Structure 1
Amino acid sequence: MAGSEVVIRILAIVVLFLIPTQLWAGPMEIESDKMTFLHKSERAEFINKVHLKRDDFEIYCDRLLAYYKNNKLDRAEAFGHIRLLQKDITGRSDRAILDQKNNILTLIGHAVLEQAGNRIEGETIVHDMAREKTVVQPDKGGRTHMTIDSDEPHTPAQKRKVK
């Protein structure tokens, strides 16, 4: 592959990982084994086998805190065994923050997004839906990682390590 083709392919793969800006359209449903509403602090806590669904976006987790302002969702924080699904994109992390007001999704702790054999991973993945910008940050002293699936067959001569 020529250099410009590699750059175009990498950009295309990065765009595939972007969660569409329509994340917040439509009603949201949350199911769990237990719910607690704290009316004065405008907060709801969902515990055990939590499933949040909004349009084609889903989160599964152990615990979810939903924060409201004027009876509208402001943000939600998910904890424990996070799994994300949106169309053919899957993800996971230890914690996730959905910021409704600023239209930002943040995956924290062993964050991974995958689609059709392609994968990005880091300690934190921040996706700003309004700006269509994704930032992958490593753990302190670590590195980020991206795997791009190739349609081309590999021969032993093509496999080489780059240092």
Structure 2
Amino acid sequence: MAGSKIVVRFAIIVAIFMMPSLLWAGAMEIESDRMVFQHKSERAEFISNVHLKRDDFELWCDKLLAYYKNSQLDHTEAFGHVRLAQKGITGSSDKAIFDQKNNRLTLIGNAVLEQDGSRITGETIIHDMRNEKTVVQPRKGGRTHMTIESDKAAGTPLPKAAK
């Protein structure tokens, strides 16, 4: 069925193709126009209109590669028009890498994260979910940028400049 949507649960892929006894901690769903699973190299490739969903995290891109080690998801790489959303945080970049083992998301190339009007931009943004730490790196010779919006109703007004 060319052009039809393919819905894949990583837990099902691994159970069917790799090790039937594998226990997975949480399901990840991926939709794409096409999928190629390479059993020997433990790699799955999702092509065109890719949508990944896991718990409250969603990612959209043009192409996604999923890599396994010992029948467990090791990391994914997303390419082209990468967008993501999680609990009121949105982001975008040219490429993204999600390191499953270390629970780290790296946005590469024109990286942007936004929440409630606040915005962080840089060439690369590395978000370590385990340690709740975010590192923003600029382009070579460039600078990072952050815009913080205040909540006018709840926030404290800034003092006015003296005349």
**Which TM-score bucket, shorter chain as reference?**
0.7 to 0.9
Counterpart-to-counterpart distance in 1, 2:140 and 2:81: 22
Structure with the higher fraction of residues in helix conformation: 1
Q: Does 1:93 pair with 2:98?
A: no
Note the C-alpha offset of 1:76: 0.1
TM-score scaled to structure 2, two decimals?
0.77
Give per-residue Cα distances to partners, 1:31-89, cap 9 Å, x unaligned. Answer: 10000000000000000000000001000000000001122110000000000011211
Note the C-alpha offset of 1:101: 1.1
Give per-residue Cα distances to partners, 1:125-161, cap 9 Å, x unaligned. Answer: 0011222111000001111000000234989x65xxx
Counterpart-to-counterpart distance in 2, 1:151 and 1:85: 22
Q: Residue 123 of structure 1 aligns to a residue in which SS?
A: strand
Alignment of 1:11-160 (within 5 A): 26-152=26-152
Q: Which amino acid aligns with 1:36?
A: V
Which has the bigger relative contact order, CA under 8 A and spacing at least 6? 1
Return 144-153 or 126-135, whichever deviates more.
144-153
- Structure 2 gaps of 5+ residues are 1-24
Q: Which runs of 4+ in 1 moved over 4 A?
A: none
Counterpart-to-counterpart distance in 1, 2:129 and 2:149: 25
Counterpart-to-counterpart distance in 2, 1:49 and 1:64: 10
- Structure 1 gaps of 5+ residues are 1-24, 159-163
From the CA coordinates, give the structure whose radius of gyration is larger: 2
TM-score scaled to structure 1, two decimals?
0.77
**Length, aligned pairs only:** 134
Note the C-alpha offset of 1:102: 1.3
